[in-house]
Chain A
Amino acid sequence: MRSLKLPAVSGFDEMIAPGGGVRPHYRSYHDWLLRQDRSLLQRKRKEAELQFHRVGITFNVYGEDSGTERLIPFDTLPRVIPASEWDLLERGTIQRVNALNLFLHDIYHDQNIIRDGRIPAEQIFGNSQYQPCMQDVDLHNQVYSHISGVDLIRDGEGDWYVLEDNLRTPSGVSYMIENRRMMMRLFPELFAEQTVAPVEHYPSLLLETLQQSASYANPTVVLLTPGQFNSAYFEHAFLAQQMGIELVEGADLFVKDGFVYMRTTAGPQRVDVIYRRIDDDFLDPLAFRSDSMLGVPGLLSVYRQGNVVLANAVGTGVGDDKSIYPYVPDMIRFYLDEEPILHNVPTWQCRKPDDLKEVLNQLPKLVVKEVHGAGGYGMLVGPAASQAEIDMFRARLLANPGNYIAQPTLSLSSCPIFVEEGIAPRHIDLRPFVLSGNDTRVVPGGLTRVAMKSGSLVVNSSQGGGTKDTWVLESGEDCPC
């Protein structure tokens, strides 16, 4: 049978097996793709671009002229995941988030995991994301991370790994939904051919989760955004609208007599749950950074009295910090008495002298990350770096080893995308979104991010990465029949 010829890539390709055959779960799409001529795909891509511009699905880039809006590149070829594989990812991410929530509750209460010697105390208490003010604060359902994004990658063998957990304000879910809408608009016939699990109900699940975060029925929920110049503002507005809740800025809220209110045209209105897309540091100038104009003075005191819910909770950052990441498999064993379903990427903690030595020896082969960094800023990708960059990181590592972790450079799996020259493989990752309310759920799929440059491993949108729609096929579709 004919199949697409892709330039050889080292590593695992999502569509094409090593012998050149098409993987079974891609067969239906692949056959359709072969029947399309290139000009049609060109046209569809243009249409998508035009539509995204028209709808204004853009994001702001820090450091560029204020108000600069860019489109995140969208690729029209879907990333397909068979049902059996999704089952593993679903169980694995839910397990992981449950353990992380138990961990957060534990370290802000009895600290059994430290007592038990599983994690050194200084790794928690010395962590800048640890919030002493959360000690003994009781949260409804003991949920800290209501919304979690778990970043997954596959190595050369196709095995899944968790690259990092995002428990603060994970973003990107609006692209998961808009990408699906776009694909259904561009290629309706594809959705008639096979059963793709829907993702568009995510906002209603999110609203349910937020409502369940309060201990009483029918709470007033709002979404707190830093404002329209934030890089993810489009998403904040999108989610608020889809959930039918107010999109508020710090200045719209105020604290009075132990409660939080919003300023409305009909007078003050009480707020019960705040889905905040603002980091801890900026939430309350009285408790955290006093120069923050984004937050609400007095918010933390109301929160600690239990008169308002923040989602995610204050202090979740200690659970997704890169210095805590190596301990997550142990957390799963400790709290759940289960074996981790998803692997961690092997990680050297540079604060340990032996690990540091190892890292310095192999620097050109490794990825080095700041423990508190995010968004692809402040990291070294050894194999892609110049000698000067490597030397610079070597000096930084020696000066402050505790600030870094290092991991082997995983190849990341590749997936075909549509480029000027035709169809070519590019590296991808996957971020499913896990919601924790009365129970823990995950929408089938997630955000697939794409490194648009050939060979690049950096998928972050702030660094020019793109996205594509992610299809989880419903069961029965992945058997080669």
Chain B
Amino acid sequence: MLSRTASDLYWLSRNFERAENTARMLDVVWNLSLIRFAVDIQAEIAAPLAITGTGDHYGSRYGKVTVQNVLFFFTLDPDSPASIYSCLRQARASAHAVRGKITGEMWESINSTWLELKEISQTGLQAYGETAFFEWVKNRSHLFRGATYGTLMRSDTFRFLRLGTFIERADNTARILDVKHSEGQLESNTTLDYYRWHALLRSVGAYEAFREMFSETINGERVAEMLILRPEVPRSLLSCLQMLCELLPAIEGDAGLQSKRLAAVQLARLQYGDMEHILDIGLHDYLTDFLRRINELADTIQSEYLELV
């Protein structure tokens, strides 16, 4: 496959996945901001800025942190690189560049997503409904994934798309967990903490999974365990690494030794990790280290496959 094509496929799915995760994250923030006893609303709504590392950019454009501004910054702001609007615009541009490689149904799905988004952007977030919008983004992502799964040949085209999805998802899950953790300490068990962890579970669609896996009150340590170490949870770091380690060796040709090595090392760390070890290191340090490693892997994939000179 052409390196440029692989790059477009990879970034297409990364951007789509990022849009979906942004919607998930905002859904939580929006719901928490409606809970009156969440005393520090300001901290809740500032969380997405911390998660995505866009606080400075936001500050220079908007100054004060308000619910409306933060929501706009992350949803329909065409000038914010972190907005769902920007992610989907880029995803669609990548899809446009490789439309000969993806199936007609995939292209139609992403193209109509973009056309609808432009209409929603005319309507405005409030008029459309915040929750309705977040659901729409998630649904469009499900639809695209469904079209991909249901119609795309299992070739390198499929693999580079999936590669982008899991690199992005691993990064996003780690970030969302890291910020939630620094707000509510793992061992703290106030009602507000309960709501926070509950919201986080819902944001990654893992609430039902928690209920099925553990018959105990929702608490930070269990949530962290689920999202880091459990292979049954499709957004967990372990699940993401398992997928990456399946995909990389399946790509045709002998390129990518370092990528495969880095992914395998990280998979082993998760597969043979346990919560005790993680808590010894400290969750924040553990996640910071993970983010560094996943980004090193992303850079290596970029140079070994996508930017061939």
**Interface: B107 (CB within 8 A):** yes
**Interface hit among B12-20, B95-103, B173-181, B236-244:** B95-103
Max count, chain A CB within 10 A of own CB: residue among B4, B112, B252, B305:
B4
Whether the pair B2, A248 counts as a contact (CB closer than 8 A) is yes
B100 and A265 form a contact (CB under 8 A): no
B1 interface hit (Cβ, 8 Å): yes
Residue contact A238 to B3, C-beta cutoff 8 Å: no
Q: Which residues of B contact A266 (CB under 8 A)?
A: 1, 251-255
Whether, in the assembled complex, A240 has its beta carbon less than 8 Å from a beta carbon of chain B, the answer is yes
Whole-angstrom CA separation of A41 from B115 in the bound complex: 25
Kindly state the separation between the CA atoms of A248 and B160 in the bound complex, as whole angstroms: 18
Find B308's partner among A56, A248, A263 (CB 8 Å cutoff): A263
Knowing A54-B108, A54-B111, the reply to whether A264 touches B100 (Cβ < 8 A) is: no
Tell me the minimal C-beta distance from B100 to chain A in angstroms: 4
User: Is there contact, CB below 8 Å, between B100 and A56?
Assistant: no
Q: Look across to chain A and name the residue whose beta carbon is closest to the beta carbon of B103.
A: A241
Verify A252–B104 contact, CB threshold 8 A. no
Q: Are A241 and B255 in contact (CB under 8 A)?
A: no
The interface residues of chain A, by DSSP majority, are classed as mixed
The verdict on A53 contacting chain B, using a C-beta distance below 8 Å, is: yes
A7 within 8 A of partner (CB):
no
Contact between A55 and B108 (Cβ–Cβ < 8 Å)?
Answer: yes
Tell me if B115 and A53 are in contact (CB < 8 A).
Answer: yes
Distance, CA A263 to CA B309, complexed state (A) = 8
Given contacts A54-B112, A56-B96, contact A265 B3 (CB under 8 A): yes
Q: Which residues of A have CB within 8 Å of B6?
A: 265
Alpha-carbon distance between A262 and B156 when the two chains are bound, in angstroms = 16
Select one of A55, A228, A249, A264 contacting B107, CB under 8 A: A55
Known: A54-B112, A265-B156, A265-B255. A237 touches B100 (CB 8 A): yes
Q: How far is the CB of A405 from chain B (nearest CB, A)?
A: 38
Q: Would you give the shortest CB distance from B160 to chain A, in whole angstroms?
A: 8
A237 to B3, CA, bound (A): 17
A248 to B100, CA, bound (A): 11
Contacts of A138 in B (CB 8 A): none
A55, A246, A263 pick with most chain B CB within 10 angstroms: A263
Least Cβ–Cβ distance between B189 and chain A, in angstroms: 49
Question: Nearest chain-B residue to A269 (Cβ)?
Answer: B2
**Given A264-B308, A265-B253, A267-B255, are A228 and B97 neighbors across the interface (CB < 8 Å)?**
yes
Q: Does A247 contact B (CB under 8 A)?
A: yes
Report how many residues on chain A are interfacial, defined by Cβ distance under 8 Å.
Answer: 22
**Complex alpha-carbon distance, A453 and B112, angstroms:** 30
A-B contact count (CB 8 A): 70
Given contacts A228-B97, A252-B4, contact A265 B111 (CB under 8 A): no
Partner of B2, one of A54, A55, A228, A264: A264
Closest A residue, CB atoms, query B97: A228
Report chain B residues within 8 Å CB of A252.
Answer: 2-4
CB closest chain-B residue, reference A266 = B253
**Least CB distance, B226 to chain A, in whole angstroms:** 34
State whether A56 touches B3 (Cβ < 8 A).
no
Q: Closest B residue to A253 by CB, please name it.
A: B2
**Nearest B residue (CB) for A67:** B93
Q: How long is the Cα–Cα vector from A301 to B308 in the complex, in angstroms?
A: 24
A184 at the interface (CB under 8 A from B): no
Whether B99 and A56, one on each chain, are in contact in the complex, defined by CB atoms closer than 8 angstroms, is yes
A263 to B6, CA, bound (A): 11
Contact status A238-B100, CB under 8 Å: yes
Most chain B beta-carbon contacts within 10 A, residue among A56, A265, A267: A265
Q: How far apart are the CA atoms of A474 and B124 in the complex, in Å?
A: 54
Closest to B112 in A: A54
Q: How far is the CA of A54 from the CA of B114 in the complex (A)?
A: 10
Would you give the 0/1 interface string for A223-246, flagging 1 where the beta carbon is closer than 8 Å to chain B? 000001000000011101100001
Residues of B within 8 A of A190 (CB): none
Q: Which of B100, B104, B108, B253 contacts A240 (CB 8 A)?
A: B100
Asked if A121 is at the interface of the complex by the 8 Å CB criterion, the answer is no
Given contacts A238-B100, A241-B100, contact A265 B108 (CB under 8 A): no
Does B251 lie within 8 Å of A265, measured CB to CB? Answer: yes
Q: Once bound together, how far apart are the Cα atoms of A366 and B107, in whole Å?
A: 46
The chain A residue with its CB closest to the CB of B108 is: A54
What 0/1 readout, one digit per residue, does chain B (211-227) give for beta carbons within 8 Å of chain A? 00000000000000000
Q: How far is the CA of A280 from the CA of B238 in the complex (A)?
A: 52
Report the minimum CB–CB distance from A118 to chain B (whole Å): 44
Q: Is A385 an interface residue (CB 8 A)?
A: no
Kindly report which residue of chain A lies nearest to residue B109, judged by CB atoms.
A54
Cα of A237 to Cα of B253 in the assembled complex, Å: 25
Name, among A53, A240, A247, the residue most crowded by chain B CB atoms within 10 Å (CB to CB): A247
Contact with A along B74-104 (1 / 0, CB 8 A): 0000000000000000000100110111001
Q: Which residues of B contact A (CB under 8 A)?
A: 1-6, 93, 96-97, 99-101, 104, 107-108, 111-112, 115, 156, 160, 251-255, 305-306, 308-309
7 cross-chain pairs, A with B, having the tightest CB-CB distances, nearest first: A266-B253, A241-B100, A237-B100, A263-B308, A240-B100, A263-B3, A265-B305
Interchain residue pairs with CB less than 8 A apart (13): A54-B112, A55-B111, A56-B99, A56-B111, A236-B100, A252-B2, A263-B2, A265-B1, A265-B252, A265-B255, A265-B308, A266-B253, A267-B253
Given contacts A237-B100, A267-B254, 4 further A-B contacts (CB under 8 A): A263-B3, A263-B4, A264-B308, A265-B255
